[in-house]
Amino acid sequence: MKKRFLRFFTIIGVCSTLSACSVLSSLADQAASLANLANCEYNLKNISNLTVAGVNVKNLTNGNITASDVLKLTSALVTKAVPMAMDVNIDIKNPTDRNAALTAMDWILDIDNSQFAQGNSAKNYTVTKKATTTVPLGVNTDLYSMFSKDGINSLKAFVSSFKNDGTSSKVGLRIKPSLSVGTYTVPMPNYIKVEKKTGSQS
């Protein structure tokens, strides 16, 4: 009987050790995936689904502004709520031989080179080795404070600064990817400025 108990506890001990090794190996892989994000290259591919106060900005940049659009923009200023929503599509290029991964992304929206808003998106993405992955980042904020003094003309000037690919010289974005490692969320140490590279396609 003693021999059976000893054999049983020996098996349990081996299984526990193997389980612990497996967990440590998994954590090590996750940590390596996070560290590898620093080796990736980040490019602003384009901005899509851009609306200001419910108005499709792409229509405005093409000169298709309607009386209804003007009414929506004017009403937004009157009600002191000018919501802006957009999907920022970020190309993450992984030049290494190891996958990189992220489970969340903090973002800072800069307007005219000043921090205007910040937020967070929690979605899982794997940036495959030797490949480029497009990560869509939903950015939402309210622009009323920008136009509370100058009114509709400054708002129209702002939306007209956007190009056909949705980018604007007035708008910048900084991101900080993070990864869940075990029970902890570990962010990259610094924000990364995301810009559209010359010659990149929209």
pLDDT of 1 > 60? The answer is: no
**DSSP assignment letter at 189:** S
Give the rounded distance of the alpha carbon of 159 from its chain centre: 22
Least confident span in 4-18, 90-104, 108-122, 180-194: 4-18
3-state secondary structure (DSSP) of residue 152: helix
Give yes or no for residue 9 having a pLDDT over 50: no
**Residue 76 zone, left/alpha/beta (φ > 0; ψ -120 to 50; rest):** alpha
Q: Which amino acid is at 10?
A: T
Cβ atoms of 102 and 136 closer than 8 Å: no
Closest CA to 158 of 50, 71, 44: 50
Domain boundaries, the chain: 2-194
Please tell me the predicted confidence (pLDDT) of residue 13. Answer: 47
pLDDT on residue 30: 58
Mean residue pLDDT across the chain: 79
Q: Are 179 and 103 in contact (CB under 8 A)?
A: yes
47, 50, 52, 55 alpha-carbon torsion, rounded to 10°? 150
Contact 101, 62 (CB under 8 A): no
**Mind listing the pLDDT tens digit for each residue in 19-58?**
454 544 454 565 566 678 888 999 989 888 889 899 888 7
Mean pLDDT of 167-181: 86
